[in-house]
Chains A and B, each alone.
Chain A
Amino acid sequence: MMDTTSRPSLPGTAHGRRRGPALPARAFALVTTLALVLGGLLAAPAQATSSADPSGAAEDGQRTLQPVVVVMDYSSSMLEEDADASGTTRLAAAREATSTLLDNAPDGADLGMVVYGANTVGDCTDITTLQEVGPTDVSALKKRIAGLDAVGETPIGAALLHAAQELEGIDGEKSIILVSDGEENCSEPPACEAAQDLAGEGIGLTVHTIGFKVNDAAREELTCVAEATGGTYVQADNATELETELQTKTVRAFQGYVASGTPVTGGETLHSSPQLAPGQYLDEYARGETTAHSSADGTLRFYHLGAIEPGERAHFSALLLPDQSQPAATGDPFAGIEVQLVNGQGENCSSSDRDYAHSSDGGKPIVGYVRSQEYTEPGSYGCFQDGTGQLFAKVQRFGEHQAEEPMPVELKFVVEPAVDESTLGPHADAEEAPRSVALSGAAAAVAGGGSFNEAAEVENRTVLSDSVMPNEARYYRVHVGYGQRLNVRAANGASEGAGPDSVDVSVFSSTRGPVRMKGDRRLHRRPAGQTATLNMPVSVSMDNHDGSHGQDAYLSGDYYVVVSADKYSDDRNREPFPYELALEVTGQEQDGPLIAEPGAGRVVDPASAQDAGEQDDAAAGEATAGATPGEDPDEGGGGAEATATGLTQPAGDNPLPWFLTGLAGSALIGAGTLALTRRRPVPAPAGTQQYAAPPGPGGQHPTDRYGTDQEGQR
């Protein structure tokens, strides 16, 4: 069941209802049906998470955490009592930070731990593996950590090599997180030299360093270590910072988009397309373009959306999902998706919408979104001239990025019910003035979702802090009702060392249409202290559905705020980009318009629609994809199959005569050859007798067989 507290509201189902005329049973059924159809509007947030865990620790499989070894300094200097104002030792702070890290580590994370200086005074070989890389027994490890002293030297270089050995044999990207409060004092080998050696091995190892209350020399050395391997250096000046930085660097897992929806395979032609009910679907598009901008040979798919009624509108979006685990490609190619609605004759029922993202915008959602033309009455010119209301979606992938790799495409189909036009007012004739978001106070740590489907629900007037990694996007959703306006303030945090070069803030409607916002939408890595404010140009209002302002945000419901990362610099820095978001919805939520009976302009009780709309969205999403579409006047009885595959065999393709022809021909030739061979005078060996050979199989009535069988097949 979906979370009904946060669902998008439908026309006429918003807070505060208007009473329509008495509700006859037929109208009730109609409203119920409409509400079910509208389930598509409510689909996305069904599994939204609202975690306060800033790590974004994984609860599912899509979050990927690199294998990591934490190297912790237990040298004697860790006994200094300056970790905080109360005189906590650095050692205690380190224990506490490690304990928190272990508590927040995702289940099954490949985490290892190495310490140096914990056992022997003056021993540069005092390096101990507390935990090998792999699943962790947290309580056992904590006990071992609690028993450690801080007595020894600071053999950073040797400890790095030791930790690298722990990661030996593990393919792919991996990292070491080094925490030290001082500089190398063993030099066996020197710390930076060891790091350079590791970098030279090309084993995909990155070393990130945290300087805990370090002096300039140690800072310089730890920076050298980090930069040698493409990692980052940060400084922690107290116990809290140490805990935060350690956790961020270690268990801030990359969160890729996990597509969801009823599996469907689009048709290769208009009329071989599967019929979809409103809901969310998942297809896979095999390839992009051979040559961007010109070959246009990316996968093309069609979907039959069935018939809409006069007054209704179809919303259809397609979200293309490149492989986010790949870094920006050479030349920064792009991948895109184009969507259009057509009718059964191929006439346009919407303009086409294209969206794309370069490989450097790896996290940006690539959404093609269209809305059907106005369907005022049957027989109107253009799309609905045929009077059937039949719609088809045409979707094509384009661009060269990951062109040879299949990409999931998440499809969302929503039917917006007809409304009583007489209840609508004039549409907005101008944009509203920009508005500041003046919310203040401590930001709450919120982990955004990794997809539209898992967008974190955020209450109005929330200030949150989060971060986004290269190739990643964070999704939040917030309810915006009729009469209300969404305002977003974004500010970068300590982002100078972040992997992404910038982040982009975008807003999408509940139907996944991109919403044009006033104001800047980009924050760069530096300088710190940047703020960008975005406002809806006008308040959400059904009045604007055909106006020139607010056409992309006229429906009440959950709106999505998406923060995505851009990374065009050529390094392996995967440090998250920290930011703050303040979300403010201004204005008083108002009643929505009344739902009208499709095509009749008849008003029905919106209360019923709301009740019906609270059905599990899955019902609407349980596609008729794969099911035979119902008879409709447009299908002529010979309608499209529900699935796109299985094109019929051409008539008259009968292999049997060909087989028999081949058989007979072959046998005939064989018989002829045998006959010729037999007629050839072969001298009989002495003592043998010649016999007249009987006709061979190939020589028996070849003509009869040929002719009879051929005739028979005819």
Chain B
Amino acid sequence: MSTSDRPTRTLTALGLTLALTAWVGAPALAATPAPDTEKGSAPATQVTPYQPSGTQVTGGESLADAVEVEPGLYQDTLQTSEEASSPAVSTRFYRLPALQDGERAHAAAVLAADPHADPRGTDWAELTVEFVNLQGEQCGPPVADNVSMTTGAVPVAKTATDPMEAGSHGCFEDGSGVVVAQVSRSGEWLADDPVAVELRFWVEPPVDESGLAEAPSEDLPPESVTVTGEARPVTGGRSFGTATEITAGQVYSAELQPREASYFRVPVEYGQRLSYRLSSGNNQQARVREIRTSAHDPLLGDPRMLGDQGISYTDNGATLTRSTAVPVSADNYGSYSYGALRFAGDYYIVVTGSEARGGREGTEPFRYELAVSLSGEAAGATEWLAAAQDEQTLAAGGSADGEDAQAAGARNGGWLPSSTELGALLGGVGLGAVLTGIAWLLLRRRRSA
């Protein structure tokens, strides 16, 4: 070997070694947990409360003053009473466009409460939604949701009218098809303070019931979610509108702080049955006492679900699985039990953290894994709903195809490269350095020649 070749070869060997080492070693390096995420130190930042979105609107204070709204996503502010000791109800009215024959209106309201806003945190907050006509006749049952503001859960109330049938007795007897959504906030929790309310309105087109089969009469057996594999870190959204899209067949890992909620969405088509699994490893050092989960249909109603809802910090290695009682199907239209499962679209999974454990116990976030499975043959989404959901998602700052920044980040495990990718990157840098070095040597030799 000529001496002149030595530096080149040495440099080459060094570079290749560097590249190889980087390729092989970086995964281990990258696998070293980041202090704040993997090791789960105490939360450095405050928990983000529910993030309401939608067009700002101020509802009428009386039926006669109801503000006109189109179907869509809105936000308003409701206050309950001047005196918490004798809370009164604060109500707002929103008038929808006249329904046509067979159409029905849906309304859902979410109290965008910050559970951390009241450190006492033991009071209840309630939200009620109902439809009335312009004469004040009820057009559907008032639906209330009251929540003890000790957890990350917030009140979510949803109701719907019957199908418009001009001249029928009751709501539609006046033949106008005009209905007004009446949204009320009550409860002692922060009674004196205004709190944002997220509102959603839909108009469901007429349904030809003659083409429908009979709805199921009983629950299917529960289903297991057998998805396995490496869990991918994910951060849940902070509202229904910003819910992080997750896909079936993938295991996700996430964590919660006390009184925090994470929102996920899963597209479910007709014919499919949604099941999801929450698993806990060791959360003995978690600050959260318990996590709980709920599921919502695309209209934020409560579909009938089977399975447990909570995992305690003491439940080492616990798994809970929830399944829709039956698959999503248009045939569920008239079913008392499964009516909410007639909408094919984005279903929501909400996981909430409870209050903190007493006595300053626990310092870490509650870590869990989430996996979803969809059984049954997919047969399309509810068309009118898909468009409406996309619109509302866009209005909330997400993207209709699920590629909002948060979801994309979650899907890809964040912008940071994986361990393998980091190894590859360093390997590439090493090789590049070698090539540069060789070039430099060649140039130098040529120059000196």
Contact = CB atoms under 8 A, between A and B. Distances in A.
A653 interface: yes
Contact of B317 (A378, A394, A651, A658): A394
B427 interface: yes
Contact of A662 (B230, B425, B443, B447): B425
Contacts of A690: 447
B128 interface: no
B282 A296 contact: yes
Interface string A645-667: 00111111111111111111111
Interface residues of A, number: 67
B185 interface: no
A353 to B, nearest CB: 15
A658 B425 contact: yes
B87 interface: no
Given A346-B319, A346-B320, A666-B431, A698 B436 contact: yes
A693 B226 CA distance: 62
Nearest to B438: A697
A697 B226 contact: no
A653 B26 CA distance: 14
A378 B432 CA distance: 64
B99 interface: no
B428 A660 contact: yes
A295 B436 contact: no
Contact of B443 (A388, A661, A674): A674
Contact of A271 (B224, B285, B412, B432): B224
A300 B283 CA distance: 13
Contacts of B320: 345-346
A665 B279 contact: no
B71 interface: no
B373 A345 contact: no
A344 B422 contact: no
A671 interface: yes
Interface stretch (A149-157, A436-444, A633-641): A633-641
Contacts of A302: 317
B277 interface: yes
Interface in B406-435: 412-413, 417-418, 420-433, 435
Nearest to B226: A271
Interface stretch (A24-32, A68-76, A229-237, A379-387): A379-387
Nearest to A270: B319
A647 B282 CA distance: 19
Nearest to B373: A636
Given A272-B228, A662-B426, A667-B432, A296 B222 contact: no
Given A345-B222, A647-B229, A666 B412 contact: no
Contacts of B440: 670, 674, 696
Contact of A345 (B319, B417, B423, B447): B319
Contacts of A394: 317
Contact of B282 (A297, A343, A691): A297
Given A388-B221, A653-B421, A674-B440, A698 B316 contact: no
Contacts of B137: none
Given A296-B284, A666-B430, A647 B228 contact: yes
Contacts of B319: 269-270, 342, 345-346
Interface residues of B, number: 62
B224 A634 contact: yes
B373 to A, nearest CB: 7
A655 B424 contact: yes
A639 B223 contact: no
Contact of B421 (A635, A654, A673): A654
Contact of B433 (A270, A641, A657, A670): A670
Nearest to A273: B228
Contacts of A640: 226, 228
Contacts of B432: 662-670, 698
Interface string B218-237: 00011111111110100000
B421 to A, nearest CB: 4
A699 B436 CA distance: 9
Given A271-B226, A658-B425, A659-B425, A669 B436 contact: yes
B411 to A, nearest CB: 8
Nearest to A378: B221
A640 B308 CA distance: 22
A330 interface: no
A294 interface: yes
Given A270-B279, A386-B222, A697-B436, A653 B428 contact: no
Interface string A333-358: 00000000011111100000000000
Given A270-B319, A346-B279, A636-B373, A663 B443 contact: no
Contact of B428 (A296, A635, A661): A661
Most buried by B among A343, A387, A658, A697: A658
Contacts of A15: none
B436 A651 contact: no
B439 A663 contact: no
Contacts of B422: 658
B138 interface: no
A663 B18 CA distance: 12
Nearest to B320: A346
Contacts of A663: 427-429, 431-432, 435
Contacts of B446: 691, 693
Contact of A655 (B421, B442, B443): B421
Nearest to B436: A670
A315 B369 CA distance: 29
A658 B417 contact: yes
B249 interface: yes
B317 A671 contact: no
Nearest to A384: B221
B368 to A, nearest CB: 12
A593 B398 CA distance: 65
A343 B417 CA distance: 37
B424 A346 contact: no
A352 B224 CA distance: 21
B375 interface: yes
Contacts of A648: 228-230
Nearest to B423: A655
Contacts of B438: 697
Contact of A666 (B417, B421, B428, B447): B428
A696 B421 contact: no
Contacts of A346: 277, 279, 308, 318-321
Given A271-B226, A272-B228, A698 B424 contact: no
Contacts of B423: 655
Contacts of B314: 296
B273 to A, nearest CB: 11
Contact of B429 (A343, A388, A390, A666): A666
A691 B449 CA distance: 10
Contacts of B225: 271, 345
Contacts of B58: none
B97 interface: no
Given A302-B317, A345-B307, A663-B429, A691 B250 contact: no
Interface string A362-386: 0000000000000000110000011
A660 B440 CA distance: 21
A343 B307 CA distance: 12
B226 A664 contact: no
Interface of B: 23, 221-230, 232, 249-250, 277, 279, 281-282, 284-285, 306-308, 314, 316-321, 323, 369, 373, 375, 412-413, 417-418, 420-433, 435-440, 442-443, 446-447
Sort A-B residue pairs by CB-CB distance and give the 8 closest, nearest first. Answer: A666-B432, A670-B436, A662-B428, A346-B319, A344-B224, A696-B439, A655-B424, A345-B321
27 contacts: A269-B228, A269-B369, A272-B228, A295-B282, A296-B284, A345-B222, A378-B221, A386-B223, A387-B221, A396-B316, A634-B223, A641-B228, A648-B230, A657-B421, A658-B417, A658-B420, A663-B429, A665-B432, A666-B430, A669-B436, A670-B433, A670-B439, A674-B443, A690-B447, A691-B446, A693-B443, A698-B432
